[in-house]
Each structure stands twice: as structure tokens, then as C-alpha cells.
Amino acid sequence: MRAVGNLLDSIYDVLFCPSPALRRIGEESRWGMAVLVYLVCLILPAIAMGFFIKTLGFHKFGGMLVAAEVVGRFMLLVLGVAVLHLVAELFGGKGTAKGLLAAMCFAHLPQLLAVPFFVISMLWASSFWKALVPLVSVAVSCWTLVLNIVAIKEVYQISGGRAVLIFVIPIIAVLAMTVGLLILSVAEFIPENAGW
């Protein structure tokens, strides 16, 4: 009962008072509970989104997208935490990977806010609600992004600027690798003895 009470407090604090809440969650490192919260934050919006996509006429893709969303994002979280922890240590951060995993799981709580909008747009299929869904999705994603950066900042007790850098560096690295691979693959098609 006490654990449930603490969980409810943590959810409230993460949404309305994120910095101290995420610091505490990172220190306690209760990642089992955090992963449970993350899965709920992942599965419920994914189900709602799946039904919403069906109403748009993509009957076959609803279930497939839900499965891909849940599996893909969970794997991305685990891999992401590992990479972010490595970068954070390079930047002199003092925290644990388990702490970051727990904090980042809770940082996904805003995703739940998108659920009512998906469902309302399903029930009242007006163009207004359908147009609102992408806007709400963007807003919720931005909120989640900010909470992720706050989680890095609080878990590793570093400045906001460094937290942003830690978050952005792996993304830039992946982008750079993608561009590099793209250039290499295009170069394969260029004739070796080009006549210019």
C-alpha cells in the first residue's frame, strides 16, 4: 500500500515538479517499478494510437504498428540508456545506469496524456479532433524530451547544457554515421574512371 502511495506521489512529482522527483528516482534506482511504469506509458498510448490509425482506414497496420512501437521503443530505451550512460561518464557525470534507466522510464509519463486525445478523435471523428492529434503528439513528445534531459541532469548532477550535449551527441553520431554510409553507398555507384 505504501509502495503504491509512493508510486502515485512519484508520478505526480514527475509531471508537476520534475527536477527533485527525477533526482530522487535516480538515487533510489528502483528500476523494476520504473520499467513497469514505462511499459504502461508505452502500451496504453500505443493501443490508443493503433485504434486511431484503424479509424483513418489503415485496418491492417494498427496491430503491426502497436507491436513495432512497443518492442522498438523498449529496445531503444535500453540501448539509449547504455549509450547515454557512457557519454555521461565521459562528461564527468556521477550517476548509475540503473538510476538513469529508472529516471528515463518515469520521464515518459507525459505520453499517457495523448491517450484521451486519440480516443476522443476516434469517438468524434471530426476534422478538428483529427487535426489536434498530431499537435498533441508533438507537444507530448517535447515534454518527454525535456523530462529526459532533466533526468540526465539530475541523475548525473551536471549542468543543463551538459545534459543537452549528452542527449544530443549520440543522436548526432547516429546521424553522421547514417550520412557517411549513405555517401559510401552512393559512391559505390559512381564509375571509377569518370570522364570529367
Partner 1 sequence: MRSKRTVIVIFLVVIVLCVLAAFWKNSNDVNSAAGNRIAVIYVDGVIAGGHSQSLFGNKEGTDEVIHQLHQARDDKAVKAVVLRINSPGGSAPASQEVGAEIIKLRQSGKVVIASMGDVAASGGYWIAAVTDKIYASPATMTGSIGVYIPYANWQELYQKIGIRQEKIKSGPHKDILSPDRPMTPEERAILQAMVDDLYNQFVAVVAEGRHMDVEKVKELADGRIFTGSQAKTAGLVDELGTMYDAIDGAAELAGIKGKPVIKEYGKANPWSLIFSASDQTKMEELMLKQFANQLPITAPLAVPPEW
Whichever of 15 and 165 has its CB closer to partner 1, that residue is 15
Residue from the set 81, 112, 136, 149 that interacts with partner 1 by CB under 8 A: 112
Contact flag: residue 12 with partner 1 (CB under 8 A): yes
Q: Which stretch binds partner 1 (CB under 8 A): 27-35, 111-119, 137-145, 174-182?
A: 111-119
State in angstroms the smallest separation of the CB of 52 from partner 1. Answer: 8
Using CB under 8 A as the binding criterion, the count of chain residues that bind partner 1 stands at 20
State in angstroms the smallest separation of the CB of 94 from partner 1. Answer: 30
State in angstroms the smallest separation of the CB of 60 from partner 1. Answer: 11
Residue from the set 36, 76, 123, 135 that interacts with partner 1 by CB under 8 A: 123
Residue from the set 115, 133, 150, 155 that interacts with partner 1 by CB under 8 A: 115
Q: Are 129 and 120 in contact (CB under 8 A)?
A: yes
Q: Which stretch binds partner 1 (CB under 8 A): 11-19, 128-136, 146-154, 162-170?
A: 11-19
- Crossing angle between the packed helical segments 18-28 and 97-106, to the nearest 10 degrees: 140
Closest CA to 165 of 110, 109, 92: 92
Cα torsion through 96, 100, 102, 103, rounded to 10: 130
Residue ranges in 34-93 that form contacts with partner 1 under rule CB under 8 A: 44, 47-48, 51-52, 54-55
Closest CA to 157 of 95, 90, 96, 87: 95
**Which residues are CB-contacts of 115 (< 8 A; sequence separation ≥ 6)?**
44, 45, 48
CA dist 161 and 178 (Å) reads 25
State in angstroms the smallest separation of the CB of 124 from partner 1. Answer: 10
> Which residues here bind partner 1, judged by CB under 8 A?
5, 8-9, 11-13, 44, 47-48, 51-52, 54-55, 112, 115-116, 118-119, 122-123
